[in-house]
Structure 1
């Protein structure tokens, strides 16, 4: 959701009385009661199983246009630049495509973009046509979310009407529900696990955002208010609202009864950023989660000698359909008791790799099918005063991570121990046939001394 203060947004709304229940038709204008079978606007749906946690994505705008990925505690996982101000962003139901819509858009037209979540670059664009493009004075699209069928729900700051967009054609149509009179979109829609669509509204430029449930029969019920919100995202059944002041707020309760009271929220992070929108791969009601694997190898595989250099290679691969944060750590505590990390040997084809104490960590975002490789070297100590065994483990630390196989997250390398008797390899001191080893050697040595004694006598 973009800044309300732009001159192009001349329609400043005042706090009008909010209708708590509104049934609507498929046209703009007064709504009429509707009962029975749900229309095409929101398909009747069953309660959904709670998904595992997934990252939250948000777009900022103005002087700092960024695409930022957060975990559900508010820690940033990735941060890349964006090409323009987007009124909102939205993942497709399978998480493979990230959409964005320009804000506020040109009079009579606006554009739907696809965005690479790893780099933030625009990969395609399509003009939006139909009634959304005709909104005056500008389309001002500030709400965008995919439905389970792949169409996009869109809202505008300049009208109470809600729209649908076919992402394949860019054609918009009227959604068979709208906000109450005097309320426009604040910036997002979320399909809840019970099948309702959560919609965030705006009465003016400063007031808290009224929050509505849109039922499968297309009735609209306000359930409360939250701090002014410009975007929202869902993870593991919970909804996170991205506030105008940069706070990420967890909505701790989503009642089903009508209310205008503040909803309870917990601020998980005060980022200070200028949020314009937010999304996750679960906003459409789909249970899409990241998936990636890590694998580890070493060369040589051992046994090695003191002074040898060992090269380790770690590979992280996105095996899912969504952009994944493939974090992992590599525990070197049982390596560095026998060896020394080679300075300057740590490299990574993408992302960020760091060694802190005995722990190597990597963080980065990978597109579906994408791979990153991390390499580093250690040199076995001379002398090796450790246990002569180098063992280390790599562990995925982000949602959806696993080892590529049961044996690929650990490597064990043995160090050869030097023989206790340094002269055993010298000529004439091997265990040759007919010799008894140390006993015979001592016997010959005594005889030699006896012979020398005789000469001296």
Structure 2
């Protein structure tokens, strides 16, 4: 069920909106009407570095409040429950802190929260003060994005003015630009690779969202429209808009010239979720990306006998500066033709581990420097009618995942054939801690047999 923000209808259909707005420059003077070229030339854009892909995060609200991490194809990588509705969420420029602002918030008492991306729990709160908190009838903060300098850009359903928030103090100040008359914030601001800020507005409760470029000199121009959008996030220079319908739309073009035409978009996923906001660690123009490593071991290693138990351990470690999904898969097909998974042996210190058919999957989100350990056991079949080789590889499946070293995700174990162990004089020390060695009598018998003419 799609949950539309109830406050949007109330605020935008109210006759008391009374927006008297202008497109302003740094000095606050009116610069241009929406859709027209700025009266003064924009400052030269500052190119950003090309970033590798990162994950997208979105928050839902209403009947279902969740923090969901997606890859750029719209696959959900993790989900955590949230304690309240947030008008939007935003990562700090280094990706270490996730912010959220309560929605709609009480006049004079709206709050900035920090959120644990792994659990969804609130870890701190700071009252927002200044002109944003004084917006009436409600602040209704619905756009929140960090700038590269750490300040948060914020928008509201109840005014076209854009604001800055100091996340350390909660003090808000007017941003030196605002939406044009009749338009309020729809839900996000993205620093583009060319230095412009992309801003999503809305004129009413149902119309498509006009999309604007805010130039470095704070002039603003509309470049098109997209389906009504309540949040946006950037990955590797591409912007994804989270629509009120629950669709995740990729913006296929971001023109620089003025236009009110629909922008070309591709729906990468129709989720049906009630999105309230979205973010990524690259929204501020930085290149922060998730990074995690996977390593796999087995005990005993190298060789085993029929009937032996083998314990596998997969370690996932977040090596980056931002929370990361550490998902991996492990194909057990070449293990289970020689062995049987021990029931109840699959455990994980965190996250979710499951086996379906011949495939083990683990999903979970880790804080920076956190580690998850996944363990399972198999028993080598007696008799072993397989290929006498147990080989499997853990494959990282989320953005930023790698093996700790070449071959570190793969384990291969050879199963000794039973007839080899039955031969007199067979020394059964395979380096696996097991000893099926023959007694002295058998060894003497073997030597005597070899000495017979």
TM over 0.5: yes
Q: CA deviation at 1:302?
A: 4.6
Aligned to 2:266: 266
Aligned to 2:361: 361
Aligned to 2:222: 222
Contact 2:105-2:111 within 8 A present in 1 as well: yes
Query: How do 1:278-427 residues align onto structure 2 when only pairs under 5 Å count?
Result: 278-419=278-419, 422=422, 424=424
Q: CA deviation at 1:326?
A: 0.7
Aligned to 1:63: 63
Q: CA deviation at 1:360?
A: 1.4
Aligned to 1:24: 25
Aligned to 1:184: 184
Aligned to 1:248: 248
Change (3 A) 1:71 1:151: same
Tell me how far apart the structure 1 counterparts of residues 66 and 447 of structure 2 sit (CA, whole Å).
Answer: 81
Change (3 A) 1:251 1:351: same
Contact 2:12-2:203 within 8 A present in 1 as well: no
What 5-or-longer segments of structure 1 have no aligned partner?
A: 39-43, 444-457
Contact 1:306-1:381 within 8 A present in 2 as well: yes
Tell me how far apart the structure 1 counterparts of residues 26 and 399 of structure 2 sit (CA, whole Å).
Answer: 42
Aligned to 2:429: none
Contact 1:327-1:398 within 8 A present in 2 as well: yes
Q: CA deviation at 1:403?
A: 1.1
Tell me how far apart the structure 2 counterparts of residues 108 and 197 of structure 1 sit (CA, whole Å).
Answer: 28
Number of residue pairs matched by the alignment? 432
Change (3 A) 1:342 1:199: same
Query: How do 1:84-163 residues align onto structure 2 when only pairs under 5 Å count?
Result: 84-163=84-163
Partner SS state of residue 106, structure 2:
coil
Query: 372-381 or 296-305: which moved more?
Result: 296-305
Q: CA deviation at 1:31?
A: 5.2
Query: How do 1:190-209 residues align onto structure 2 when only pairs under 5 Å count?
Result: 190-209=190-209
Tell me how far apart the structure 2 counterparts of residues 260 and 225 of structure 1 sit (CA, whole Å).
Answer: 6
Aligned to 1:452: none
Query: 367-376 or 326-335: which moved more?
Result: 326-335
Tell me how far apart the structure 2 counterparts of residues 374 and 351 of structure 1 sit (CA, whole Å).
Answer: 9
What 5-or-longer segments of structure 2 have no aligned partner?
A: 33-37, 425-437
Partner SS state of residue 4, structure 1:
helix
Contact 1:9-1:137 within 8 A present in 2 as well: no
Q: Deviations over 1:40-60 (max 9, x none)?
A: xxxx75212331211111111
Q: CA deviation at 1:236?
A: 1.3
Aligned to 1:168: 168
Partner SS state of residue 7, structure 2:
coil
Tell me how far apart the structure 2 counterparts of residues 434 and 390 of structure 1 sit (CA, whole Å).
Answer: 35
Tell me how far apart the structure 2 counterparts of residues 181 and 416 of structure 1 sit (CA, whole Å).
Answer: 79
Contact 1:47-1:195 within 8 A present in 2 as well: yes
Q: CA deviation at 1:26?
A: 5.0
Contact 2:9-2:205 within 8 A present in 1 as well: no
Contact 1:2-1:142 within 8 A present in 2 as well: no
Aligned to 1:77: 77
Q: CA deviation at 1:8?
A: 6.7
Tell me how far apart the structure 2 counterparts of residues 107 and 55 of structure 1 sit (CA, whole Å).
Answer: 34
Change (3 A) 1:273 1:175: same
Aligned to 2:232: 232
Aligned to 1:454: none
Q: CA deviation at 1:18?
A: 10
Q: Deviations over 1:390-435 (max 9, x none)?
A: 2221111111111122342122223233345947368866466984
Tell me how far apart the structure 1 counterparts of residues 294 and 447 of structure 2 sit (CA, whole Å).
Answer: 56
TM-score (ref. length: structure 1):
0.88
Aligned to 2:430: none
TM-score (ref. length: structure 2):
0.88
Tell me how far apart the structure 2 counterparts of residues 173 and 306 of structure 1 sit (CA, whole Å).
Answer: 72
Contact 1:2-1:86 within 8 A present in 2 as well: no
Tell me how far apart the structure 2 counterparts of residues 140 and 277 of structure 1 sit (CA, whole Å).
Answer: 13
Change (3 A) 1:432 1:269: closer
Aligned to 2:7: 4
Q: Deviations over 1:41-99 (max 9, x none)?
A: xxx75212331211111111111111111111111111111111111100001111000
Q: Deviations over 1:170-206 (max 9, x none)?
A: 1111111111111111111001111100000111111
Tell me how far apart the structure 2 counterparts of residues 8 and 208 of structure 1 sit (CA, whole Å).
Answer: 17
Change (3 A) 1:427 1:266: closer
Tell me how far apart the structure 1 counterparts of residues 354 and 239 of structure 2 sit (CA, whole Å).
Answer: 33
Bigger radius of gyration: 1
Q: CA deviation at 1:230?
A: 0.8
Tell me how far apart the structure 2 counterparts of residues 136 and 24 of structure 1 sit (CA, whole Å).
Answer: 24
Tell me how far apart the structure 2 counterparts of residues 433 and 375 of structure 1 sit (CA, whole Å).
Answer: 42
Tell me how far apart the structure 1 counterparts of residues 9 and 137 of structure 2 sit (CA, whole Å).
Answer: 12
